[in-house]
Structures are given as structure tokens and as C-alpha cells.
Chains A and B, each alone.
Chain A
Amino acid sequence: MDPTTLSLLITIAKIVVLVGALMTAAAYFVLVERWIAAWVQDRKGPNRVGLPLTKFRMFGLGQPLADGLKFIFKEEYVPKNVDRWLYTLAPVVLLAAALAAFAVIPFGDTIPVDAGAAGDGETSTGSGFIKLLVAPHVDVGMLYVFALSSMAVYGVILGGWSSNNKYGYLGALRSSAQMIAYELPLGLGILGVVLMTGSLRLDLIVSHQADVGVWNAFAQPLGFVVFVVAAFAEAARLPFDLPECEQELIGGYHTEYSGMRLILFLIGEFMHMITASLLIVLLFLGGWHFWGLTGGEFTGWVDAILKIVILIVKTVAVILFFMLVRWSWPRFRFDQLMSLAWKVMLPLGMLNLAVVAVLNEPAFQQYLGGGSTFVFVTINILVAAVAWIVTALLQPLAADNRPRSVEKTW
């Protein structure tokens, strides 16, 4: 078999495994979400559905299957005045964009097929290295993820617009405004990391953190906070779920959707959350690195598997955090949401970028000499603390919308 065919087959196999795993993961995260929602409210949550047609309950682990079946068998109602073509296209766009982003996300370090033998390292065809990555060597990896996460907004806007519904359209409008506003802090958060690493490739960003031994979350706390907040907004999770708030917009852009089309939207949203969590872990929480357990270099198969496990554990922990925050924080008002993006997150992100840029200046690095990492971290933490307190005292989110001046003008 010639190398091209082999490479193609391997890539297809990777895609099949990845999509299958992600779909299953999304289904089970719905269950976890419901469990957490129940536990936080002192309830027990879904614990009845187990193996089909038997009495085994298995703590409700059969629930995703039942949920999926329910969605499949529901009537797929299409309202009369929708733009049918775009109406059908919208969920597909959303889910396709959400899934395609995973192509450049590494799920583990590069593994040499036989450790010690020199592979060429430049192919993924099994001639020397196994890469746990669908599309290796995409040097614009980070930009690609960025572009696709913005593409997903098209799905939301198309869905809201084509369904010819006020609530749907309001949700879509809110979504587009929110995405545009939070794309900037998200980018600024990433830019700091990229500046420090010197690469847009996610696997290189992780191995840089592993080499230095300090995760970017500690090296750039300000960038971390800005990125996490922006990631919450991008994934449209509470407290930033204004595009689809159930109380105000009865579901927002997917108000008019039902059956399989609705589940495509819902899975797409969960995919967003999984992508956001993976990015937080890869960019800021050291990816598959953990002190004392896994380093930057390949030491054996145990090490390779441990790295995958560590990455998954970290990602699941971040997702659980996402879910807990949902029940801890009330939703922002829309003007507060916008103020937070433009008046707080954007300046803080710029500040972080400026500090990282100055500290990464070769002349400065030379001046510091050996202890540069320690100084770097200290300065960044100090800057973060000062900036946070100054922002807090300025109170940019406080909005007074009382008609005090009305008497004077009348």
C-alpha cells in the first residue's frame, strides 16, 4: 500500500474514532450536567434508566440512550413561514463547525512507534511516530480553532433568522453581538500564550509549558482569567447564556426547532463547551503535563497513556467547573455583558499582552539571566493583582438607569 493511501486511511480512522468518542462524550456530559444540576439543588437526579428491557439501573447510565431515542422519535415539526433551506442548514453548520475544530487539538503527546529508532517525525503515516491528532503539523492550529468557533455563530444566526420568530431572532442578534465582543478578549488571552511560546501549534504550546515547568495559568494569571471568562461567553454558558436564555427568550435561536434538528444544536453547544475546556487545559493548564508524573519527553508507553489520562482528567475537571458555575452565578444583564467585554476584559487582556511582550524582549531576558522564569511569574502575578484591584475600584459595570435627570429636562 502506498504511503498516501495509508496516510488517508489512518486519518479516516482517527476521524471516525474521534467523532464517535465526542458524540458519546457529549451524550454523557448531558447526563452529568443533569446530575450536577440535581445535586446542587439537593435532588438525586436521573438514576432510573439502566440497561434497556432489564431491571439493572446502573445509576441512570442508560439515560443518554433514552434521551437520544426520545429526540429521534419526536415529531420534527417545521413551522409554516420558515426559510426551509436555511432552517435545515443552520444546525448542520453549527455542529460541523464545532466538530471540525477538534481536527487540530492534540489528545496526547507524539509517540514514537519503536522508542529509540529514529523516525523522520514529519509524517503521521506510522513510519516513526504516532500522533494523537487528526491533522498534525497545522502551523496555524490556534487560528484554525478560532476561525471555526466564529463559524459556529453562523449556525446560530441562520437558525434564529430562518425560523422567522421574534425570540429566535433576538437570540441570534444577542449571540452575534456577544461573539464579536468576546472574540477580542479570547484572542488577547491566546496571544499572550502564543507570544511566550512562539508557535500557534497546540502541541508545541503544551510542550513549552512542560519544558518550563510552570503552567501558563500561573505565568499569566491575568491572561488566564480573561481567557476563561471569554471562553464561557463563547460557549454561551451561564452566566453568559443570553443567546438562549429560557426565561426571557424561551430558548432563543432554537425556539422553533424540534426533534433531531434540536439535538444537533444541543450537541453543538456541548461540543463548544468541550472545545473551550480542552483549550483552557492545553493553553493554560499545562495540557498533559503534570509535575512529577509526566514531563516533556517520551519515556515509554506507560508515560504516553498517563499523558492521555491526565489530559482527559483535567478537561473533565474544567467541564465540571463549567457546570458548577452554571448553578452558582445568575445571568448577566445584556448591557453588563457588553460592559464586561469592552470595559474590563479588553483592557485587562491588552495589559497582559503588553506585560508579556515586554518581559519576552530578548534584552530583558538577557538582563535577568538565569532566574528569568521566577521573575516573569512574579511580575505577572503582581501586575494581575494590581490591575484587578484598580478595575474593581473603578467599577466599570455599575450602571445607574434611574430617571434622576428626568425632572430637570422636563
Chain B
Amino acid sequence: MCGIAALFAYDGDAPAVRREELESINERMRPRGPDAGGTWISDDSRVGLAARRLAIIDLTAEGDQPLTDTAGELVIVFNGEIYNHRELRARLERGGARFHSSSDTEVLLQLYRAHGADMVELLRGMFAFCIWDKRRERMFVARDPYGIKPLYFADDGRTIRIASTVKALLAGGAVSRTIDPAGVAGFFLTGTVPEPFTIHESIRAVEAGTAFFVDGNGRGRARDHYSIAKVFRNGCSQHAFVTLVPPAMQLCEFVSESLAYHLVSDVPVGAFLSAGIDSTGLVALAKQPMRTVTLSFDAFRGGASDESQIAERFAAEMHSTHTTRVVTRDEFQRDLPRFFDAMDQPTIDGVNTWFVSKATAEQGLKVAISGIGGDELFGSYPSFTTLPRIVRSMSLARRVPGGIQAARAALAMMKRSPKAPAVTRYGATWGGAYLVQRGLYMPSELREVMDAEAAEEGMKRLAIFDRAEAMLDPDPASEFGRVATLEATLYMRNQLLRDTDWASMAHSLEVRTPLVDAWLLRQLAPLLTNEGQASKQYFADSPRPALPDYVRNRAKTGFVVPLIDWAQLEPDGTGTRMRSWAKRVMGTFR
């Protein structure tokens, strides 16, 4: 787990890369990698690489980055973890490769040498990396399937600058800070900035599940190496296996396998523990007592939203070394400036992850597993039931003359929601219905928070409904698959995973997500499309013994923060006052 950066002056007339810029970028990422830092600049000063390192695998200096291969032909900077690095190493060694360290970074270099760009298909893990290939004078850039690890670039047509965070790219001083209305509109619509946009015109995300080369002609076309939609589609044609093994057993096997990979580490691994099925299920399947951490907000102590009592009871039964960390209003307010400074892109979430990461790091841990992704995987969100209903009814209304008007009137009578007109306008498509359901502001409301012209321009370039629909290409072939794909590629990718990254990295903590695993999804897709939302209960049945009733019967709350009181949010017409919070957040970026 690290922060990485790369500069490549690919155009012959571009100025040489400057060490000061590279070091400034790297320095901004220091919390991501407090253990070591390094830079490398090519002899001709056309290429520069830098990394900050949080040492998790191979704690020796041999794992430091940038790492050059023994032939001096390949240089890499890498952020993330390759969980199957040991088996890949063994396979490469059988093919004749020789290694000089035990780090997973060196495995990437050797794998690139053996398989070229196809190497990404063999990686199980979370990753973002750049490999400078001196032989062919080109750089290979890749990011993991779900987008767990971030990677951004600014390409001015002569030089490409790449870094793990937007703020690091800006810290280099050579990238324009001009605000992008598309990014701002995206934030107010969804509560986060949708990929590939950022709130800066000149900076874009390397999209999740893609890889590309940069050579003397600039950035090549990005190639998809993983498609969640396609995995669900393929899953529909693999029902033969579903019938061979009972569902709970499949979940036990496949999640345990993912978990075992995510526990590979040369330092102790802790676990975030809530009172929900996902995190308790992981702790139960871990087959080893863990060090667990639960958050408790003093404003909620003893109430329905306080998860600490159930978590403590469960941790005791699992023989975990458990910590309940109480967060107070004073601490929240004290941390806010640092919280906003660490926030890489505007988002209305991240507070819980900030505090649970802080609490875990206080326990001396550098790595923790989290149950995030379970709701997207097992279909626990309300969207898995409401979205199919909306799409079906709006599709029907469109086919009947006057149907849309009737639906609009019916919705208006039922409740005075600003979303009602948007439901009738966008609800006939899966992407449209999803965005309306998850939306913070509706497109028609953007003028309340943006200049009218900027809102129009932003919406046009953002093309958010088209982008949401594009996530469903190819069609995942089942209603469950469609909603799961939208949740994973929009909410989870743009918000949950991104927020987890910056909020944990701010405390030099690596968060691992066994339920967000591309290989796991491939195995479970047939079962998930077959069983739908029943999958969650099968998951609760999968440990031996099965999860106790006091966990599985608890009403779902997730991690909740007393944000309204603590941040003194103004009423904004919503129960959560998230619109007020969004305006506060955006204020810190302008």
C-alpha cells in the first residue's frame, strides 16, 4: 500500500521532467506511505517515477520503490496488494524466472516481462501501477477491476502526470486547478464525483478495470481487462455448477478463499467489526481470533444505532481481541480540518471510515479487513427491490398513451418529493432509475447550487445517464445483475471505495475488502443471479457455526454518524440534511 507518481514527457519537445515536481507530488502522499520514499528519473530525464511506501509485504529495503529489474530495463511504482503473488511467483519460477526479493512488486515486473499487458488478467488483488519499459520506450499503466486503488492523470498533450491522488498532482504545481463543471455537477447529483471526472478540468481518473500504454505518440486507447456486467452475464449461463453444491457451502468456500488471500501479510491484520452480517461473517470465517475494532458515537450510546454492544458480544464469542472506540462531538469537530484536508475529491461520505481507521491505527495495526461491498454483492440495498419495480412500471407507462402524465400525477399525490418528476422522466431505464433513486440533487435542481450556465455545460459533458447505461453493456442478463452492476460501478466505485482509500490512508492504514474481489465475483455470479437477495442469509449460514440470531435479525443500520447535530447542519428538505453537508464539503474545495 503506497502512494505512487509518474511523469512522462512523451513529446520530444516537452520540457524534461523536474525532480522538484516529482518530489512535491510524492511528499503530498507521505501519509499513504510513511515507511519509505523514493524517486527515479531516467538518464535522459524524460521519465520520472516516485513512491511512498507503507511496508506490508517484504518489510526489507528490497521492497522499496521505484523498483528496477536486474536487467535495468523495467522500472515500476505500485500501489496496492497482489494477494496471489506467491503462486504467481512459483509459476514464473517454474518458467525460469529468478527473483531477488520476496515482494509482490517484483512479481509484477516479472509477470509483465512474461505476459506483457495481459498480466493484469492474472492479478488477484487491488492495484494501481505504472511500469516504465525502457526497451520499448513506453509506460504501462493499470488499475484494478473494482477501482479499489485510485489513480489519476493529467495529460497536456506533451507530458502525462500520474499520481494516486488528485491533491498530489496539484501539489506538483504544473497541473491547472481550473474547476470542471462536469465534476461539480456530478458531485451534487450523486454525492461524489463520478469517474472519470474529477472537479479539475485537467485531471481524470484512470478508469477501474482498465489499462493503457503511453508512448511517444501519447496515451493509447484504454483496454478493459474486467467487466462486472460481463461477469454477471456469463454467470447466467453457468447454472450447472449452482446445482452441484448447496449455496451456503459455495459461499463458505469462495468467501473463505477470498478471505485467506486478503489475510496474506507480513504484519498483523485487524478487522472492522460492526453489528452487521458482512463484517461478522468475515470474522467468523477467518478461522483465527482477530483484533477487531468497533466505532461507537457517544451521542448514540445505548440506542438502536449503537452497534457496539452486539459487536462486543460477538467478538467475545469469536475470542477476538476487541476494542470499542467511542467518538465524541469534540473529537469530531477537532478532526474536521484534517478530515477535509485528506479528502481527495468532494464526497458526502467518509466520516465513519475516517474514525474507524483512526481507531484501528491507534491499536498499532497497519492492515484491517472490512466487510464493505457485502451489500452490493448480496443485494442488501433497497435498490435491489425498488429499481426493478420502477423500471417495469415506467416502461409500461411509456407504452400507454398518457401513461407518463398519469404516473407523474400519481407520484405527486403520493408524496411531495423533488424526485417525482425525475422518476417519470428517467425511470424507464435502469441507469436513469438508479441515479434518481441514489440522487442527492435532481438535474433540474442543480441551479440551486451551481451557476446556470455551468450546470448546463456540466450536465452536457457529464452525460451521466448515458454513462450509467454504459455500465450495463453487455447486459448483465438478470435484474439482480443489473442492479448489482450499477451499485458496484457507480456508488461503490465512486464513493465507498474511494472514500475508504483516502480516509484510511490518512491514518496510514491499509483496508482490505474480501467481499470486493473480482475473482470472488466470478465464482459467485451464478449463485447470485440464481438466489438473488436470499444470498445474504446463505452467507450468514456459511460459517460453522452459522451466525447467531442476534446478528442476523438485527435491523440494518450500517455505520451511522450523528452528523446533523455534530456538524450543525441546516435543514435542507431532506431527513439526512446531506444537501447541507454537500454544500459544506464543496465549500472546502473552491
A and B found bound together: no
A residues at B contact (CB < 8 Å): none
B residues at A contact (CB < 8 Å): none
